[in-house]
Amino acid sequence: MTIEEARELFGYSAWANGRMFDAAAALPAEHLSATIASSFPSILGTLGHIVGAEWIWLRRWHGDSPAATPAWVTGSSLSELRARLTELEAERDGFLGQLADADLERVVEYRRLSGEGYADPLAELVRHAVNHSTYHRGQLATLLRQVGVHPPGTDYIAYVRARR
């Protein structure tokens, strides 16, 4: 993987996350927090998890190992979560902007929230972070359908075509 490929993947992820936030913003407030069976209890909870995980991974890449998700993950409104995500994307872009391709092979040592230690190359963690958000956007698509909304397309090829 190259830095340019990492930027491309995160560009795609930011675009797709933005589409999901746009879809959620069009919902009545009661749909955002309604309990719907999934990995997280609501559309807002799933979006919070995506943003919280982005925060955790970026902290790990900076050498920190958070012991818990930040309180704002569950206490924020949709607009607050979106603002946090925008800040994280800018911080991540700055982080990637300081790296050379060889830096992606650097092994990052970190602890999971459970305290279990791991060490993985940064390139693999980049792939994981993008895939993690993709997985949960798939859940959001199902949650949106359950409240009667056709979810936006977030396929990678749609991102590529939209940029042309």
Quickly count helices (H) and strands (E) in the chain.
7, 2
CA distance 133 to 101: 23
pLDDT digits (tens, 9 = 90+) for 15-65: 999 999 999 999 999 999 999 988 999 999 999 999 999 999 999 999 999
| Confidence at residue 5, expressed as pLDDT on a 0 to 100 scale | 97
Query: Pick from 89, 81, 18: which is nearest to 45 by CA?
Result: 81
Domain locations in the chain?
3-163
Amino acid 41: pLDDT: 92
Mean pLDDT of the chain, nearest integer: 96
**Position 128: which residue type?**
H
Q: Give percent of the chain with pLDDT exceeding 90.
A: 98
The percent helix, strand, coil of the chain (3-state, each to 5) is 65, 5, 25
Q: What class does CATH assign to 3-163?
A: mainly alpha
